[in-house]
Amino acid sequence: MVKRLNGSRKSTWGLSLSELAVSVDHWQKFAEFCHYEQLAGGPDPHMALVGEMSRGEPLEEIWWRAGCYIACYNAPTAEAIWKHWTAREVRMNPEGMRRWIRENWAGLGFRRERRAVRTPEKLGRYFVSYVGYMPLFKVHYHPEAKFVSPGDAYEMAWRDLQKVYGLGRYVALKILEFVTRYADAPIALPDIRAKGGWSPRRALALLFPEDAEALLGDDSPRNVAIAEDRALQVLERVEEPLSMYNLQVLLCDYKQSVIGRRQYPGRSQDSEIVYGRKVEDAFPDIKLEMWDARKRLFPHWALGELNGWWEVRESLGDVLADHNYTWSDSLYDWHESKDNLAVPVSASKAA
């Protein structure tokens, strides 16, 4: 039995006792989720896609594309923005950028995590703030910058980035990971940023129900320290190569799979198709490079545009909760399985 938390039926972050009950082997299912999500190109395949499209570009252009990407948190909208605007043009003509955003607002796609910039005024303010921040990259995060350690450098970067309008904890993690990978910034995420990280901490509570009171509690130093320690234990226990960054993303995504009935390995690949079609309809003057980049970067079985689906397959979000298995397009055939996901047809048999 899982004890009551502070005598209530729900914790501070809304995780019910029934969700903490061990009805599935969360350690096994989390390991499977990590394996198949990474096999499909995740987590954050859109980040990898923008990185692929930025190969060989000057550092300042890479930093600009990072800002375009994190503004909307999907690759096709980011590509549309950087094909219409450069960072220098935004600095020279901020009102022109704001006007362009207002005129093209209907064609811009946003993942729901970008609530902070979901009006034309807020998005315009973000871009003006971001290009004002970019010179700090040259001073602090250039590949030749010298620091005591990458961890110390990360803390400086983290503090600096809070000055940009519209960037909270979640998005700051994304943009710093991008410049770490693709702009060779000498920084490294040292932990899961447990302070304020309610989503990965909810997932940790599934893996460590005995620590639920601390993991689901407030941001006291003790509770944050326990969360960070349990994250390190996950890295040691899960037999899957995970960076600290990927761990905190996958914890969030697993929570959204088993509790939120939303995530499945490959969902982010599917949603990029939806954003891509929206952008193509809105901006017929550009040819999206993302389609070719996806084929170069990811396994073809993970790409709906090559396999006959063009949308997010919402029913797959229920698979883990309802049928106690982890979906992967490397294992199962969507077309043969979609009418009865309780008994999926293997990809090899369908072939």
Which of the pair, 334 or 143, is modelled with greater confidence? Answer: 334
137 — pLDDT class (breaks 50, 70, 90):
confident
Asked whether the beta carbons of 136 and 145 are under 8 A apart, the reply is no
Residues 95-121: pLDDT tens digits?
A: 999 999 999 999 999 998 898 899 999
Which of the pair, 317 or 4, is modelled with greater confidence? Answer: 317
Residues 211-231: pLDDT tens digits?
A: 999 999 999 999 999 999 999
Q: How confident is the model at residue 159, as a pLDDT?
A: 86
Burial 51-90 (b: 16+ CB within 10 A, else e): bbbbeeeebbebbbbbbbbbbbbbbbbbbbbbeebebeeb
Q: How confident is the model at residue 323, as a pLDDT?
A: 94
Please state, in angstroms and rounded to a whole number, the distance separating the CA atoms of residues 333 and 276: 24
